[in-house]
Amino acid sequence: MRSVYADTLRWRREVNPGPVNHSSSPVSATIPEYVACEPRLLLSEMASTVAREAMRRCPGEGNLTPDQVVVCATSFEGDLALSCAGRLHSELGSTGVPFAIGQLQGASFFLALQVVSEMMASDDRMRSALIVGAERWLPPFSRQVGTLTALGDGAAAALVRRQAGPGWRVVIVNVRTPCLTFACPDVRVDETIVVEVIGQTCVQAGFKPGAIDWIVPPRINTTLACDVTAQARLLAWRIWYPEPGDIGYLCAADALAQLHVLLQSVAPTDGQRILLWATGFQGQAACAILQYCGS
């Protein structure tokens, strides 16, 4: 632990948090204009809150215990010795060994969904999995990500079940991570790779881009999101992008939070589809298609 986190511990002792923007005031002229800032709760406390709420809202299940817990996070837990995944495993009583996916930023949730889908396909005993995304950015880490976005604090969770009846079915998930060396630390979004992954996902699902009812991009620079939509031949007027400057980019929790807000505002009919896509800041790309099954 000391070897892995020595620099972080040293930075925390030495950093002067004054110039690092962690307020909810405007950060710059870039998108988003405001960022959400959690002043009190630890990352694992935020994750625990949304995990319990997701379980409580699960229809038709009294005391459902998830078979698997997967945590997605890019930021550090306040207590570096505390495992968020381990905490949720203990609190919820899940049966599988918990694990976490990190450092893929917005693509983390998609990789978790892909892994969980493959686990369910290969193990009939696995009936449900809880995926939780949580982020809380503390000094000395800056919230500003170049001209792309600013990072907000937030958490979201989703329960994925086998044959759960009416609900959103995971049609397909694709994740691509580039091979990078330590000599290439640049913050960047590879639009070409993102467009390729979106196209690949649509082809494998057997859907034309125009057959998507809602397109949910990440809360990053809106110009970039619109450019990706156009290059992928998706219908721009079907982009669902509410108030892009309101809370900031929630990174590993972003896609889950976006999906939650969308589902609170629509009344889906059988067969309607949602396409979500995400990107990381080192060229990662991910896409998923969900389809509503009313019966």
Please state the pTM of the whole predicted model: 0.87
Say how far apart CA 124 and CA 27 lie, in whole Å: 48
What is the pLDDT at residue 283?
Answer: 87
Strand partners, 288: 173, 276
- pLDDT of 183 > 80? The answer is no
How confident is the model at residue 286, as a pLDDT? 97
What does the pLDDT look like over 192-251, one tens digit per residue?
Answer: 999 999 999 999 999 998 999 999 999 888 888 889 999 999 998 999 876 656 788 999
Alpha helices, H only, the chain: 2-14, 43-56, 84-92, 108-122, 191-205, 222-231, 254-265
Q: What is the mean pLDDT of the chain?
A: 85
Q: Which of 233, 194, 237 is nearest to 214 (CA)?
A: 237
> Are 156 and 256 a contacting pair, CB within 8 Å?
yes
More confident residue, 72 or 28: 72
Higher pLDDT, 111 or 248: 111
pLDDT tens for residues 7-31?
666 655 655 444 344 444 444 444 5
* pLDDT given for residue 19 in this prediction: 38
Amino acid at residue number 149? T
Closest C-alpha among 200, 212, 187 to residue 271: 212
Going by DSSP bridges, is the β-strand pair 144-145/128-135 parallel, antiparallel, or unpaired? unpaired
* Residue pLDDT, tens place only, 269-291: 999 999 999 998 888 999 999 99
Three-state SS for 77-89 is CCCCCCCHHHHHH
